[in-house]
Amino acid sequence: MVFQLLYGAGCILLFFGMLWMFLPHAVHTAFLSEEEEAEHLFHIAQGAIVSVMGVILLVVHQKRKTV
């Protein structure tokens, strides 16, 4: 049952990570209410890290399912 939760959590992390990566920079600024501008590459890196974490959870779930 724990591994079924991993699949759902992996999907959610992957979705939000990809969403965060591909949002335009203006949306990041409006969403976070940042007064100073952060670099867009920083937001891409944040989204990539979250997406990779989601993929890792999906792979762990798949490996556990086949064993």
pLDDT score, position 34: 64
pTM reported for the whole predicted model? 0.79
Supply 10's token pair: 């992996």
pLDDT score, position 2: 66
Per-residue pLDDT of the chain (67 residues; tens, 9 = 90+): 666 888 999 999 999 999 988 887 777 777 777 666 667 788 889 999 999 999 999 999 888 877 6
pLDDT score, position 20: 87
3-state helix/strand/coil string of the chain: CHHHHHHHHHHHHHHHHHHHHHCCHHHHHHHHCCCCCCCHHHHHHHHHHHHHHHHHHHHHHHHHHHC
